[in-house]
Structure 1
Amino acid sequence: MSSIKSDKKVAVITGGATGIGKETARLLVADGVHVVLSGRRADVGARAVEELTKDGGSASFVVADMDSPESIKALFDSVLADYGRLDHAVNNAGLAHETAAIADADPVKFQEMLSTNVMGLFLCLQREIQEMLAGGHGGTIVNLASIAGLNGIPWSGPYAATKHAVVGLTKTAGLEYSSQGVRVNAVAPGAIKTDIIANAITLGQYDEDTITAMHPIGRMGLPREIAAGIHWLLSDESSFVAGTVLNIDGGFQAK
């Protein structure tokens, strides 16, 4: 791809080809932002780009694996080479593949989640901040935390640990960089109707009635409902918000 460098704002969304990531991309594309989606599956990414651009929107896809520092570096090198700027970022990619009590949890799976959910997000966050500062125009970043990053969640201890780390990184980055024009926040979704949750219910890893009962609103959330919160945090409408974790959880945290 040849360099497009222009005044059009640019956003990166990791894990952006499906679910919450794609719904967030849809809102940003409607704002006239060029959105770079990343993920591990080129075919899924291509379909997402086709969907997002069919009405004149601007989007592209870069294959990237959040488990690989080299792949993360290549993603941002590509974005800066092609577009010359970075204005918004959503660190959405993550793993959630453990459903056991801590004494029975698989250390290998825990390590995989740490590598992607914590170190991968950290490396993205670090590079995003660097580029936004270097660009001289600031920017906004939203990290995907979880209700599991604010509470203990039975049978999800390793996952909860990684999301607690995301909350810590978010709050600290918010303190360190908001005065320099880079606002870092997070969203903490409850259970959301994504392919991951649907597959887990189908496999019997989760019980849908139990998950629904966790939320006082009486249902699971939809990806577009989380995307709306992310979109607000990325926008100038939230210009006085920094280092905050926005709960979008159907009342879970209010219990």
Structure 2
Amino acid sequence: MLITGASSGIGAATARVGAQHGASLVLMARRVRRLEDLAAELREKGADVACAGGDVTSSADVERAVRLAVDRYGRLDAAFNNAGTTIEPALLHETDDADYDTVLDVNLRGVWLCMKHEITAMLANGVGGAVVNNSSIAGVRATSAGAPYVAAKHAVLGLTKAAAAQYADRGVRVNALATGLTRSEMSEGIFARDPAAEDRMRRRNPQGRVADPEEVARVAVWLCSEQASFVTGATMAVDGGAGAW
């Protein structure tokens, strides 16, 4: 299982849950030291883990991570495209062009490149595979995260549906997560800048809380497993009911 953005948050939690279920892992992120620390933790518990430092906006880096999975394990069966970024929210007309480029590059181009190389490997292995893309509730509605982020996350769902339709008859399943507010370095940064933000966000959620990363990770791992063998092209809400309001 290849996991991007694996050095913290949902990505790291997915690595831990995947390892608990016996998955062999390739972890990809820019923060190599953190990847190595996580890999060491998982190896102590008996997991087979490889690290591929790199940037999802680089086709060469993504291709290298996929090749590592194939060379080490014989094929790539599953991938969780989780890497993402955000910017300081602003009104659309006040958003810098550079901020737009950054958000679209990581959150959309990154998913595109990952899918391109992952699906190529899955088609070559003769048995298909499963891809899960991490979108957001911002992929199904406008949020306070800002227009570029909302646009990118909507586009991830479009890529997911298009790929699911194109490759379903070749054994490749492609699904997406529409995640709600989840405890992570990104959310903690938001709360540090705006101490009242967490309370506001809790009040907008029917469960009245922030998700633990493992709660999202369990759904990602399930979608990658044979337990979800008839699920493709789906957007799975993991948002505590926020989408119901």
User: Secondary structure, in 3 states, of the residue corresponding to 2:71?
Assistant: helix
The C-alpha deviation readout for 1:47-101, integer Å capped at 9, x for no partner, is 1101111111111211011122222222223332333310000000011123111
User: Equivalents in 1 of 2:186, 2:34: separation in Å?
Assistant: 15
Asked if residue 32 in structure 1 is aligned to residue 37 in structure 2, the reply is no
What is the match of residue 178 of structure 2? 188
Q: 2:217, 2:46 → 1: CA distance? A: 20
Q: Distance in 1 between matches of 2:182 and 2:217?
A: 11
% same residue: 37
1-structure distance, mates of 2:92, 2:196:
17
In the alignment, which residue of structure 1 is the partner of 2:61? 71
How do residues 1-255 of structure 1 correspond to structure 2 at under 5 angstroms?
11-204=1-194, 207-255=197-245
- Distance across 2 between alignment mates of 1:193 and 1:91: 18
CA distance in 1, matches of 2:4, 2:82: 5
SS of aligned partner of 1:231? helix
Runs in 1 of length 4+ with deviation above 4 angstroms?
none
* Distance (Å, rounded) in 2 between the aligned partners of 1:83 and 1:235: 17
Structure-2-length-normalised TM-score: 0.96
Q: Secondary structure at the match of 2:116?
A: helix
1:192-223 CA distance string (max 9 Å, x none): 01111102211228711111112111111110
RMSD: 1.4
Unaligned runs of 5+ in 2: none
Amino acid at match of 1:59: V
TM-score norm. by structure 1 comes to 0.92
For 1:246, the aligned partner's letter is: M
Q: How many residues align?
A: 245
The amino acid of 2:27's aligned partner reads L
Query: Matched residue of 2:110: which SS?
Result: helix
- Return closer, same or farther for 1:155/1:30 CA change in 2, 3 Å cut-off: closer
After superposition, what is the alpha-carbon deviation per residue over 1:127-166, rounded to whole angstroms, capped at 9, x for unaligned?
1111101100111110000000000113511101000010
